């Protein structure tokens, strides 16, 4: 198998035949957020299937496109649909698109996901600005020989979510009247949802929201020196003593409502990015 760098080079060659710009921001659209790309100017859509070494999405509710365009005048690359560890991909496959986006030139990554809300102050469809995370997945995308040209062997994780972007997101949500908390995200492998005892434990170790994605991508972004901003949308309430069976249709419908809020919030945040946020 080719090493990561050669795989990235092959992917970039194909992408460059369709898009020659330099995106400044990468966005990973989680469940419900695909509407964001409807607002793009000068859109170029490349199906994951056309890109060498890109995994294929196996989840029906997720699309599979790398979409380029401008939002508030800023060149963006958006992943419409992401890859999950529970689908059977390796952590290197799950995070490969982040390596590609880095090579395309992004300075900031915005990651979004659907998550279960364990903090009792949260309501369905609330946004959570991720201030930190806990990795409970059984694997790590950086395991194995480190390519020093991609990042450090032992990347620092004291602030994987950029404090100035967290502050900007919080201020903007407040101004727009969009309910947004700050919180800790814990990543589990899935695909099953958690038992009551597991929610109790995850809350007890300090997490506010739980989901099956995001942390691998954020670890690779930290390794690659990309500034990250993360959002969860609360799609189900996970209070151990009042737990109800969730159904995926309800998760998807709540995600669509919250996705609409995020689709309004993200452009407003982008509009306020100045040089300082990307220094």
Residue 108 pairs in a beta bridge with 25, 227
Binding of ligand HPA at residue 210 (CB under 6 A)?
Answer: yes
For residue 235, state whether it binds ligand HPA (rule: CB under 6 A): yes
Contact yes or no for 164/215 (Cβ under 8 A):
no
In sequence order, the 6+-apart residues with CB closer than 8 A to the CB of 203 are 118, 119, 240
Q: Candidates 75-83, 110-118, 133-141, 148-156 — which segment interacts with ligand HPA by CB under 6 A?
A: 110-118
The answer to whether residue 125 forms part of the interface with ligand HPA (CB under 6 A) is no
Q: Is 193 in the site for ligand HPA (CB under 6 A)?
A: yes
User: Closest-CB residue for ligand HPA?
Assistant: 116
Torsional sign, CA 263, 269, 275, 276? negative
Query: How far is the C-alpha of 228 from the C-alpha of 36, rounded, in Å?
Result: 18
User: Out of 114, 122, 169, 277, which residue is the one contacting ligand HPA (CB under 6 A)?
Assistant: 114
For ligand HPA, which stretch binds (CB under 6 A), given 34-42, 67-75, 79-87, 114-122?
114-122
- List the one residue out of 107, 131, 158 whose CA is nearest residue 232: 131
d(CA 248, CA 250): 5
Q: Nearest Cα to 126, choosing from 62, 199, 209?
A: 209
Strands 74-80 and 65-71: antiparallel
What residues have CB less than 8 Å from 35, skipping those under 6 apart? 259, 260, 263
3-state class (DSSP) for residue 39 = helix
Is residue 151 near ligand HPA by the rule CB under 6 A?
A: no
- Segment lying near ligand HPA (by CB under 6 A), choices 122-130, 141-149, 221-229, 231-239: 231-239
Q: Which position among 91, 214, 236, 262 is part of the footprint of ligand HPA (CB under 6 A)?
A: 236
Distance from C-alpha of 223 to C-alpha of 231, rounded to nearest angstrom? 20
The only residue of 78, 110, 180, 251 in contact with ligand HPA, by rule CB under 6 A: 251
**For ligand HPA, the closer CB: 168 or 234:** 234
Point out which span in 121-129, 132-140, 205-213, 219-227 binds ligand HPA (CB under 6 A): 205-213
Q: Does 194 bind ligand HPA (CB under 6 A)?
A: yes
Nearer to ligand HPA, 103 or 198 (CB): 198
Give Cα 183 to chain centroid, integer Å: 15
Q: Give me the half-sphere count of Cα atoms (radius 13 Å) on the Cβ side of residue 29.
A: 27
CB of 50 to ligand HPA, least distance (A): 29
Closer by beta carbon to ligand HPA, 68 or else 231: 231
Asked if 137 is part of the footprint of ligand HPA (rule: CB under 6 A), the reply reads no
Q: In the complex, which residues of this chain contact ligand HPA (CB under 6 A)? A: 114-116, 188, 190, 193-194, 210-212, 235-236, 238, 251
């Amino acid at each position: 198998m080719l090493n990561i760098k050669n795989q990235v080079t092959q992917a970039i060659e194909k992408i460059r035949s369709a898009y020659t710009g330099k995106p400044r921001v990468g966005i990973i659209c989680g469940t419900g957020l695909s509407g964001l790309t409807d607002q793009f100017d000068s859109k170029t859509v490349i199906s994951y299937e056309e890109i060498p070494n890109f995994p294929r999405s196996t989840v029906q509710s997720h699309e599979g496109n790398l979409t380029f365009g401008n939002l508030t005048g800023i060149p963006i690359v958006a992943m419409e649909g992401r890859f999950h560890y529970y689908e059977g991909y390796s952590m290197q496959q799950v995070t490969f698109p982040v390596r590609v986006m880095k090579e395309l030139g992004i300075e900031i990554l915005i990651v979004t996901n659907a998550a279960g809300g364990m903090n009792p102050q949260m309501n369905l469809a609330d946004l959570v600005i991720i201030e930190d995370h806990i990795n409970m997945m059984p694997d790590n995308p950086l395991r194995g020989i480190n390519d020093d040209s991609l990042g450090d062997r032992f990347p620092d994780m004291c602030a994987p979510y950029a404090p100035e972007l967290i502050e900007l997101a919080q201020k903007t949500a407040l101004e727009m009247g969009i309910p947004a908390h700050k919180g800790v995200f814990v990543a589990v492998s899935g695909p099953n949802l958690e038992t009551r005892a597991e929610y109790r434990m995850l809350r007890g170790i300090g997490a506010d929201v739980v989901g099956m994605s995001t942390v691998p991508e954020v670890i690779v972004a930290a390794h690659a020196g990309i500034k990250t901003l993360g959002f969860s949308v609360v799609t189900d309430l996970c209070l151990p003593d009042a737990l109800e069976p969730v159904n995926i249709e309800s998760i998807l419908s709540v995600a669509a409502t919250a996705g609409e809020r995020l689709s309004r919030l993200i452009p407003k945040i982008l509009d306020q990015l100045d040089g300082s946020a990307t220094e």
